[in-house]
Structure 1
Amino acid sequence: MAGFDENIVREYFELNGFFVRQLRKYLVQSRKKRADEEIDLVVYNPNAPLDGAPGDFQLFSADMVKVRRAIVVVKAWHSSRFTPAMLKSSSRVFDFLKKDVLRNAESYFRFDDSEVDPEVVSAGQFTKILVLPSLPTSDPLRSESIELLKAGGVDGIITFSTILENLLRNVEVNHSYQKSDLLQLMRILKIYDMVKEPQLNLFNE
């Protein structure tokens, strides 16, 4: 069963033109996670270039047009401070990068489009994205965190602040979002002036 945080991330990718496969999760404490349960989302943007890849490690909404296929894992540590020590002490952060997990990711979308290059369809061509509350804002903690994530095989991270900012910007008060509880809630909050559209420099971490 998908959690609230994963649903936020799903809404974000769908709003940015991706087809999204959200993987079913089971709350069973007595067994080890299966390979397919390490991944939260598999996303596919048919409008992105075949050889598209994000430029920087920290991704923003403008970078999404460059991402064609990605596996996405959500780490919703909203009340925890993200540090290199957390990465070093929790190896499970990188479980979604194991070879058997990446092999499973290939089966989540079937590509019948003749325009898709077979080389791009290989599991190795997935962009591997981690969703985090934030990165440390100052060095050396920030640089060390990025290096640890890169060394672990992560291709890019996107923060919840970037995701929420993008959702707030794109929710329109004169449009009903009956199929999305999250977007409908954001719309109602904007109607009653409970939230304001974020300033350009509000979420810049």
Structure 2
Amino acid sequence: MSGFDENIVREYFELNGFFVRQLRKYQVQSRKKRFDEEIDMLIYNPKADKKIRPAGFQLFSNDIVHIHQAIVVVKAWHSSRFTPAILRSGTKVFDFLKKDVLSKVNDYFDFNEMDLGKNDAVFKKILIIPSLPSGEPHRSESITLLKEQGIDGIISFATILESLIKSIEINHSYQKSDLLQLIRILKIYDMIKEPQMTFFD
């Protein structure tokens, strides 16, 4: 189901003004990933105001509009709890931060073609996860571990799904996107409601 989860993330970034490049259309299962297979997608927002930095480590939709470019890795462990123990357990969460992987990122973005200067050639490293632990000290401990490994920010699936649901208008037809069209149909038949004024982890 990783392809489906990545499509959810892709739709989210595209609706928020990003160009998205999905680096592969296949899933690696029977062998160890090559270093060029660790990153799920690249995102690029030409309209981002690079002078404004996101306020926190956990990113929301009003934060990501200030991100110029980033590498994104999706960890769709929907049925598992994300804890500090998982981060320490060698689950390969941080494999995309290895030097061999990051050294290829500039080639992926092709800065010469984009006519970007050296000061612009800085990319964020974003991790998509189900959620952070809600209680302390596990929440703070998880954030510290992620930062120490070089993660610049995380986005929860709840944030992504909330944004997608809010963005879909029932009087529009989204025939070019199965996911968005499904959300529209579910909203038409009152199967899902607009997210309430609550904050998601």
Matched letter for residue 44 of structure 1: Y
Whether 1:22 and 2:22 are equivalent positions in the alignment is: yes
Shift of 1:204: 2.6
Shift of 1:68: 0.3
Q: Report the Cα distance in structure 1 between the residues aligned to 2:52 and 2:21, rounded to whole angstroms.
A: 20
Aligned partner of 1:149 in structure 2 is: 146
Shift of 1:101: 0.9
Task: Determine if contact 2:2/2:76 at 8 Å carries over to the other structure.
Answer: no
Whether 1:199 and 2:184 are equivalent positions in the alignment is: no
- SS of the residue aligned with 1:189? helix
- With over 3 angstroms needed to count, the CA separation of the structure-2 counterparts of 1:162 and 1:191, relative to structure 1, is same
Q: Report the Cα distance in structure 1 between the residues aligned to 2:80 and 2:2, rounded to whole angstroms.
A: 21
Matched letter for residue 126 of structure 2: I
- SS of the residue aligned with 1:92? coil
Task: Determine if contact 1:52/1:68 at 8 Å carries over to the other structure.
Answer: no
Q: Report the Cα distance in structure 1 between the residues aligned to 2:34 and 2:82, rounded to whole angstroms.
A: 26
Q: Report the Cα distance in structure 1 between the residues aligned to 2:97 and 2:159, rounded to whole angstroms.
A: 23
Task: Determine if contact 1:21/1:41 at 8 Å carries over to the other structure.
Answer: yes
Shift of 1:108: 2.1
Task: Determine if contact 2:129/2:155 at 8 Å carries over to the other structure.
Answer: yes
- SS of the residue aligned with 2:140? helix
- SS of the residue aligned with 1:93? coil
Q: Report the Cα distance in structure 1 between the residues aligned to 2:185 and 2:29, rounded to whole angstroms.
A: 37
Q: CA RMSD in A?
A: 1.7
Shift of 1:142: 0.3
Shift of 1:51: 4.4
**Number of aligned positions between the proteins:** 200
Q: Report the Cα distance in structure 2 between the residues aligned to 1:140 and 1:175, rounded to whole angstroms.
A: 44
Indicate the percent of aligned positions where both proteins have the same amino acid: 67
Shift of 1:103: 1.8
**What do residues 13-60 of structure 1 show as CA deviations (whole Å, max 9, x unaligned)?**
000000000111544544321112101110000001234532210000
Aligned partner of 1:188 in structure 2 is: 185
Instruction: Name structure 1 gaps, 5 residues minimum.
Output: none
Matched letter for residue 174 of structure 1: N
- SS of the residue aligned with 1:10? helix
Whether 1:80 and 2:80 are equivalent positions in the alignment is: yes
Matched letter for residue 60 of structure 1: F
- With over 3 angstroms needed to count, the CA separation of the structure-2 counterparts of 1:162 and 1:29, relative to structure 1, is closer
Task: Determine if contact 2:3/2:27 at 8 Å carries over to the other structure.
Answer: no
- Stretch deviating more after TM superposition (188-197 or 24-33): 24-33
- With over 3 angstroms needed to count, the CA separation of the structure-2 counterparts of 1:28 and 1:81, relative to structure 1, is closer
Q: Report the Cα distance in structure 2 between the residues aligned to 1:28 and 1:162, rounded to whole angstroms.
A: 27
Instruction: Name structure 2 gaps, 5 residues minimum.
Output: none
- So what's the TM-score if we normalise by structure 2? 0.93
Q: Report the Cα distance in structure 2 between the residues aligned to 1:155 and 1:134, rounded to whole angstroms.
A: 16
- So what's the TM-score if we normalise by structure 1? 0.92
- With over 3 angstroms needed to count, the CA separation of the structure-2 counterparts of 1:25 and 1:100, relative to structure 1, is farther
